[in-house]
Amino acid sequence: MYILIVARGYPSERYKMNGIFEFDQAKALAKAGHKVIYAAIDVRSIRHKRQWGFESFKKDGVQIEAINIPCGGIHRIIQYQIRLIALRIISKRIFRKHGIPDLIHAHFISNSYITARVFGKSNIPIISTEHFSAMNKDKLPPYLLKVGKYTYPRMNKVITVSTSLAESLNKKFGVKPIIVPNILDTTSFKYTKKKGNINAFTFVATGRLITSKGMDILIQAFYKAFKGDKNVRLYIFGDGPERNKLERLINSLNLSDQVFLMGLVDRKKIADKMSESDCFVLASRRETFGVAYIEAMAMGLPVIATKCGGPEDFVTNENGILVPVDDIDKLKEALIKMHQNIDLYDREKISSSTKKSFAPSTIAERLIEVYKDVLRKK
């Protein structure tokens, strides 16, 4: 099968998370023996992407055909038009070099929209996977409603990464998505017994330092639960616009010797710290899936998560605790409960069940079944 994936960009040494969800699926499909061409349409600001023009190279078994048009924070209408032109240009190059694909799989509403515009009247089936957490809001801005109403009815199949997002799209747009979760990186995140200081209790969190990740709530709950207990620590990995605010919060609560902002690092360094940790915790206000949770669970860590739209699909009493969004006291109680009852969680069992559900080969098989179903109905 020849699959063309339309993506936001590709992971690089400098920007390791750029297009990571799409690229993980592309790698899994290529490893399963399918021809995968990865159309990366990168319109990030010139601050992030300084190279204009085309790139063509192979990475992890996937042929990447990229078009880079750094334009960043211009008005969304103009940016959509630039994306549209970029897809028309790069798809013509791809078709000349690699032939016409059996199907096109676009990720995120922005790419699904331009794919519908360019190929909606063609004979090539189009599949959309929605990851965008904004689509899970109760009320969407008018432009997203307009884009969604145009896009989703023109898809041969719509996929979401969680039940809550599927329900949201069904309610807003009348589509009936199927659920295929994101892929777990089984090379970086493997089961391990706890290393390091066994007497210290370590919580770890990862995510962009933005309001929706709820790091402020987490720090306040941690303060209420463990202030002054130097044997309990919290390490937060990630960067973003909230960093200065969070640093001030940590200092104001006198937590600088218990809570540590570790910055943006690669998956290996995160995995190394997880191997020394007892529990993963994230107080997100909104998630469409929550890949960070399953990465931690793959290493055997129990998790504390909020009922924010994604974790409800996979967090159970056997692998963690769910708490309401923005509830500092409930989160404090969960932190204390985890600290007191950590021995009740079977790290090896958490790891094995997580890998079984989210391994690249498992997700690739599910995607291939979707593709075959679409092609049968063509």
- Output the tens digit of pLDDT for each of the chain's 378 residues: 999 999 988 888 777 778 889 999 999 999 999 999 999 998 876 555 556 789 999 999 999 999 988 876 777 788 889 999 999 999 999 999 999 999 999 999 999 999 999 999 999 999 999 998 888 888 899 999 999 999 999 999 999 999 999 999 999 999 999 999 999 887 888 888 887 677 789 999 999 999 999 999 999 999 999 999 999 999 999 999 999 999 999 999 999 999 999 998 888 899 999 999 999 999 999 888 888 999 999 999 999 999 998 899 999 999 999 999 999 999 999 999 999 999 999 999 999 999 999 999 999 999 999 999 999 987
Residue 286 pLDDT: 87
Other beta carbons within 10 Å of 165: 25
Directed axis angle between helix 267-274 and helix 291-298, to 10°? 50
Q: Are 355 and 298 in contact (CB under 8 A)?
A: yes
DSSP letter string over 300-318?
Answer: T--EEEESSSSGGGT--TT
- Domains, the chain: 2-183+359-376 (3.40.50.2000), 201-357 (3.40.50.2000)
Rounded to whole angstroms, the Cα distance separating 296 from 294 reads 5
Other beta carbons within 10 Å of 103: 20
Of 45, 183, 39, 181, the residue nearest 112 (C-alpha)? 39
3-state secondary structure of 38: strand
Helical residues (DSSP H) of the chain, grouped into ranges: 20-31, 76-98, 109-119, 142-151, 163-173, 215-226, 243-252, 267-274, 291-298, 328-341, 347-358, 360-376
3-state secondary structure of 123: coil
Q: Are 322 and 333 in contact (CB under 8 A)?
A: no
Supply the pTM of this predicted model: 0.83
Q: Are 209 and 242 in contact (CB under 8 A)?
A: yes
| Residue 183 per-residue DSSP state | P
Residue 6 pLDDT: 97
The position carrying tokens 């710290």 is 273
Residue 86 pLDDT: 93
DSSP letter string over 59-113?
Answer: ETTEEEEEEE----SS-HHHHHHHHHHHHHHHHHHHHHHH---SEEEEESHHHHH
